[in-house]
């Protein structure tokens, strides 16, 4: 498992260990492992690119879950962001897959992104077999990595499985979702009361469960799957549910959506404003039917468990 010390990796390590699997995780630097799971053996591989040596981590393994990636950079400093995304997400993935094949690994589960399908939905939800439409360097690099893996699958018989999740939340979450938790906890008025979008999201509990299934399910080979929790929510409803789980007042102010978008653009956060206001819905019918899988954790339980973690950590 690459990215073993990340938000998803830490959760998946526990899930696989509980399922009786021998788990080996790769990290960038073993000196900076925040949480070591005693059930997981760790290997430091350094930077991820076309020269990474994965052999010590791959030796004796039957399957790979590839989580590590260069993700969204809020304050991008790279002269050529696309080149940097490709260096890690495309060339690094290709190197990992090729070395996995040479060492007899049978299955390769790749965690991609729903952004491969596009940035937003209007009338129809995204489906797994839609024509991809990546809109930014990160999404493009994920799509290119998927193509590389499918090509290696065709050439070598490596059993490739691709999963495209939306926003993932849960204990240990960082980024915008953690900022939202802090804003709701402070009881500040939030100007999102007029947003009536619909967004799919997935808890780390459900994502890790599907990853566990995809490591062994015979019908998963060569497929692309979408995943989400059981229902789609508006940005305003997500805030209401977080506030309810926190037992905090929900102070939503109704500001017209065009004004929110304009304000975001004026302060250089137009993309963030768009994500808050736009819809992004997924149809995971293929996942349900082909894998006979449904999310074991409801969105209500997922948010409650995330809030419990947040309150416990913030008050320490």
Give residue-wise pLDDT tens across range 12-58.
999 999 998 889 999 888 776 666 777 788 888 999 999 999 999 99
Residue 73 has pLDDT above 90, yes or no: no
DSSP 158-171: -EEEEEE--EEEST
pLDDT over 80 (residue 277): yes
81 pLDDT above the threshold of 90:
no
Q: Report the chain's mean pLDDT, rounded to a whole number.
A: 92
Residue 74 predicted with pLDDT over 80: no
CA distance from start to end of the chain: 30
* Average confidence (pLDDT) over 146-161: 96
Name the band, by pLDDT with cuts 50, 70 and 90, for residue 5.
confident
- Each domain of the chain, given as residue ranges in start order, spans 7-169+200-229+281-296
103-121 average pLDDT score: 96
State mean pLDDT over 153-157. 95
For 147, 217, 251, 288, the CA distances from 241, given in Å and listed in that order, are 38, 34, 12, 26
pLDDT (0 to 100) of residue 33: 67
Q: How confident is the model at residue 77 (pLDDT cuts 50, 70, 90)?
A: low
pLDDT of residue 54: 94
Q: What percent of the chain has pLDDT over 90?
A: 79
CA-closest candidate to residue 163, choices 121, 212, 125: 212
Q: Which residues contact 305 (CB under 8 A, 6 or more apart)?
A: 170, 171, 203, 205, 297
Instruction: Using the predicted structure, report yes or no on whether residue 204 has a pLDDT greater than 80.
Output: yes
What's the pLDDT band for 253 if we cut at 50, 70, 90? very high
pLDDT of residue 153 exceeding 60, the answer is yes
Catalytic residue among 42, 110, 138, 169: 138
- Is 110 among the catalytic positions? no
* Nearest Cα residue to 8 out of 214, 198, 136, 165: 165
Q: Assess whether pLDDT exceeds 60 at residue 172.
A: yes
At residue 76, the pLDDT reads 56
Check whether 78 has a pLDDT greater than 70: no
Mean pLDDT along residues 199-221: 96
pLDDT score of 87: 95
With beta carbons less than 8 A apart as the criterion, state whether 190 and 237 touch.
no
CATH homologous superfamily of 7-169+200-229+281-296? NAD(P)-binding Rossmann-like Domain (3.40.50.720)
Beta strands in the chain (DSSP E): 23-27, 40-44, 63-66, 107-111, 126-127, 159-164, 167-169, 201-203, 224-226, 282-283
Three-class SS of 264-304: HHHCCCHHHHHHHHCEECEECHHHHHHHCCCCCCCHHHHHH
């Amino acid at each position: 498992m690459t990215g073993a010390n990340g938000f998803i990796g830490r959760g998946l390590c526990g899930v696989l260990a509980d399922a009786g699997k021998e788990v080996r995780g790769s990290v960038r630097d073993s000196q900076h492992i925040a949480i070591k799971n005693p059930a997981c053996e760790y290997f430091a591989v350094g930077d991820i690119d076309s020269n990474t040596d994965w052999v010590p981590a791959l030796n004796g393994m039957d399957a790979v879950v590839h989580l590590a990636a260069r993700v969204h950079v809020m304050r991008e400093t790279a002269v050529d962001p696309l080149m940097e995304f490709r260096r890690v997400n495309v060339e690094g993935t290709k190197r990992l897959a090729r070395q996995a094949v040479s060492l007899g690994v049978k299955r390769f589960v790749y965690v991609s992104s729903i952004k491969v399908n596009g940035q937003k939905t209007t009338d129809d939800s995204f489906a797994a077999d839609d024509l991809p439409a990546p809109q930014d360097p990160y999404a493009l690099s994920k799509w290119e990595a998927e193509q590389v893996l499918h090509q290696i699958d065709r050439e070598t018989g490596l059993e490739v499985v691709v999963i495209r999740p939306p926003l993932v939340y849960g204990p240990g979450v960082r980024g915008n979702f953690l900022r939202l938790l802090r804003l709701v906890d402070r009881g500040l008025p939030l100007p999102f009361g007029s947003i009536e979008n619909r967004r799919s999201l997935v808890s780390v509990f459900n994502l890790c469960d599907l990853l566990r299934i995809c490591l062994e399910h015979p019908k998963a080979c060569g497929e692309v799957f979408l995943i989400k929790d059981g229902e789609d929510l508006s940005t305003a409803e997500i805030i209401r549910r977080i506030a309810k789980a926190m037992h905090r007042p929900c102070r939503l102010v109704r500001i017209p959506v065009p004004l929110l978008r304009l304000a975001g653009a004026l302060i250089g956060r137009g993309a963030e404003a768009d994500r808050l206001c736009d819809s992004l819905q997924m149809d995971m019918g293929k996942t349900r039917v082909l894998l006979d899988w449904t999310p074991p954790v409801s969105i209500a339980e997922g948010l409650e468990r995330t809030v419990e973690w947040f309150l416990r950590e913030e008050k320490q």
